[in-house]
Structure 1
Amino acid sequence: MQRAIELSILADYYGREIAAYDIQTTRCDLYGQEKKYSERVMLIYDGLHYDALAISPFEGAPEEFDQTIFPVQKGRTIGPAEDLALKLVKEQQRKKTYTDTANFTLRCGVCQIGVIGQKEAVEHAQATGHVNFQEYR
């Protein structure tokens, strides 16, 4: 919920829609659509971080040629870029390139206790003061 509030604020601040794709669920949440902004940016979320999605005009093109802002067309779409984004998200989901923060397994680097998920890690950190965790399988 916190991220939704932040993305809504950013959409308003920059005056453009933000489409946020979640790799784990392949869901796309759209922020700022009620304002009918004329441009949209796309983000991809891996469970820990957001990254901007960009389209390169050709393979090997310099990064400054990448398109990251897309005009919103009739029907509130940005055209083929949406299909490309969803295809990428589904491919990343298939490759499991996301972090499931509710169920990942961590080991405390101080006392070596194992915990499952961010909630247990936070509880352990609050109870012990330990903050050095490593993911393990």
Structure 2
Amino acid sequence: MRLKVDNKVVSIDNNATLNDLIEEIGAPDAVAIRFGYPPLRLDIEENSKVAKLVDIGLSSGEKVRIVRNGGDVVKPSMPKLKDSQAIIEDSNVGRAILQVHTVPDDNSCLFHSISYSVYKDISLSLELRQIVSSEIQNNKAEYNDAILGRPNREYAAWILDLSSWGGGIEIAILSKHLNVAIYVLDVDINKFEKFNDDKFNDFIIILFNGIHYDCMEVDYGKTVFQKNDEKLTSQILSNSLDIAKKLKANGYCFNTQKAKIICNVCRMKFVGERDVAKHAESTGHTDFGQAST
């Protein structure tokens, strides 16, 4: 990877550690680095020295500033947090920010959220649809017409349509295929629904506001969490719930079972996620809000 460190460009192996970077730039007096936006300060300590650059969130093209001994050695205050952010303490990097990562609102938001969480790339969303379609076709007994609400073959073709919304069936299938538990945080009721939590140590978190999915990440790029890191997991879960509560208070969620949802494109109104989804699929409209009456 290529990094811009202060005023020079450094090329370093993708598997390099933080200590390798410090040695490469010849900065034995370095006490911390800063990178990302908002700027994250990572102190150079025994545990962080051995961390790989990719694991602390550095990628090619990143700008890095070196904090040297005798310089900016006092930890700055954290930037003002948004409703979609919370402070956590990670034993590997110190203080960090847990935040909502928003994905495009284009009828594929569920697949985008899972794709970003697992691959850091939403371009694999179509591939995830194909995985679901194949699994449904190959397991007709498990995914029968009654479960799917339509003929197996029809459903398998329907989910490949980019205008089709995914839900619990798709989440369960992708969780198994990707070997990761998926925690769905329902913003309206402030509660997790955990898919395959008993099968995997790794988990990701996606938020559902009634009509849209987003995902959770730590600001240095961490999106897959491990249950056996109990201290960090506890912080991630409790702070995710706090974030969801703040988002709901500021109108981020829609109760599609009770409240009317309005299409901001054509002004039609609906009650129920199913009707909203059908409208989105038939028209391509993706801009919805909560109707005042």
TM-score (norm 1): 0.68
Runs of 5+ consecutive residues of structure 2 not aligned to the other structure: 1-146, 148-165
1:59 alignment partner in structure 2: none
Of 254, 258, 272 in structure 2, the residue corresponding to residue 99 of structure 1 is 254
Are 2:244 and 1:80 aligned? no
| Matching residue of 1:66 | 221
Q: 2:203 is matched with which residue?
A: 40
Does the alignment pair 1:3 with 2:157?
no
Distance 2:237 2:246 in 1: 14
- Match for residue 117 of structure 1? 271
**Taking structure 1 as reference, are residues 120 and 95 closer, same or farther at Cα in structure 2, changes over 3 Å only?**
same
- Structure 1: runs of 5 or more not aligned: 57-64
- Quote the Cα distance in structure 1 between the aligned partners of 2:233 and 2:222: 12
Shift of 1:115: 4.2
Query: How far apart in 2 are the matches of 1:24 and 1:91?
Result: 11
Cα deviation for residue 100 of structure 1 reads 2.3
Matches within 5 A, 1:10-49: 10-35=174-199, 37-49=200-212
Q: Aligned in 2, Cα 1:15/1:95: closer, same or farther, shift over 3 Å?
A: same
Identical amino acids, percent of aligned pairs: 14
Structure of greater relative contact order (alpha carbons < 8 Å, 6+ residues apart): 1
Q: Which amino acid aligns with 1:68?
A: T
Kindly tell me the number of residue pairs found equivalent between the two proteins: 119
Letter paired with 1:50? Y
Q: Which amino acid aligns with 1:70?
A: F
RMSD: 3.3
Q: Which amino acid counterpart does residue 167 of structure 2 have in structure 1?
A: R
The answer to whether the Cα contact below 8 Å between 1:73 and 1:79 also exists between their aligned partners in 2 is: no
Partners of 1:32 and 1:67 lie apart in 2 by 20
Shift of 1:106: 3.4
Flag the 1:121–1:5 CA change in 2: closer, same or farther, 3 A: closer
Instruction: Please say which structure displays the higher CA radius of gyration.
Output: 2
Give the ranges of 4+ consecutive aligned residues of structure 1 lying more than 3 Å apart after TM superposition. Answer: 105-109, 118-122, 130-136
**Alignment check: 8 A CA contact 1:106 1:121 kept:** no
